[in-house]
Homo-oligomer: A and B are copies of this chain.
Amino acid sequence: MDKRERIIRAAVEVFRDKGIEGTKVSDIVRKAEIAQGTFYLYFPSKLSVMPAIAERMARQLEETARRHVKPETDWEGQLLQLIDAVFEVTAEYRDVATLVYAGLSSTEHVREWEDIYTSLYASIAEMIGRWQEEGHVRTADPSALARLVVGLTESAAEQVYLYDAYDPVREQEQKEELRVFLRNALRE
């Protein structure tokens, strides 16, 4: 496999296990099964993996959303599909998201974060735009709604996955509450 890709994958795992301070480049390269020096052929510094992870996350979120949400389903069904997508990706990246977020904000990568999420927000905004055209969702700036929807859904997913005690029943309840919450928040 492509070495750059292996580094990113390994970094995600190590960050998840050891947190932001606890992660050493040596851990990443060990997991990626490459040499210490090879890391620096692909990334100029330890923290510069962060934007790459963030991008991967955002891209994956976008794709998963696109894959889950079926245009033929009615809008409330699509809403649920969107929720499923966000939960799925959040579960995969668990608290890595937070770490990456913190890692980005501590360095000078904040701008990149905005860029990375722009496309995701646009994608969701477009979806909401279609619901508005079909008369299901109230009139409001779809971009603004997209940000609120994504933020809320990620927050709800984190509440389920972030803590040790993961509980599948709790996950279903949370999704259901979120679905009703969002339907009400958005509908005409």
Cβ of A155 within 8 Å of any chain B Cβ, yes or no, is yes
What B residues does A186 contact at CB under 8 A?
184
Interface size on A, as a range, is 35 or more
Taking a contact as CB atoms closer than 8 A, the residue among B102, B138, B173 that contacts A20 in the complex is B102
What B residues does A181 contact at CB under 8 A?
145, 148, 185
Cβ of A98 within 8 Å of any chain B Cβ, yes or no, is yes
- A2-21 vs B, CB cutoff 8 Å, 1 = contact: the mask equals 00000000000000001111
A interface SS class: helix
- Least CB distance, A22 to chain B, in whole angstroms: 6
- Least CB distance, A183 to chain B, in whole angstroms: 9
Cβ of A47 within 8 Å of any chain B Cβ, yes or no, is yes
A interface list, Cβ under 8 A from B: 18-22, 47, 95, 98-99, 101-103, 105-107, 110-111, 113-114, 138, 140-141, 144-145, 147-148, 151-152, 154-156, 158-159, 162-164, 173-174, 177-178, 180-182, 184-187
